[in-house]
Structure 1
Amino acid sequence: MRAAPPAALRWDAPPPERIHGLSTATSLAVHRAEALAPDFDLYPGATDWALSRYREFLMPPGRRPRYPRPSLCPCPGVLDG
Structure 2
Amino acid sequence: MRRDYGSRLFELVDKPINRDLTLEIYSATAEALEKWEKRFKLEKVKVEGVKEGKVTLDLEGLYLPMGRKIRFDGVVV
Length-normalised TM-score, structure 2: 0.28
More strand by share: 2
Point out which structure has higher relative CO (alpha carbons under 8 A, 6+ apart): 2
Please give the TM-score of this superposition, normalised by the length of structure 1.
0.27
Computing the radius of gyration from Cα coordinates, the structure with the larger value is 1
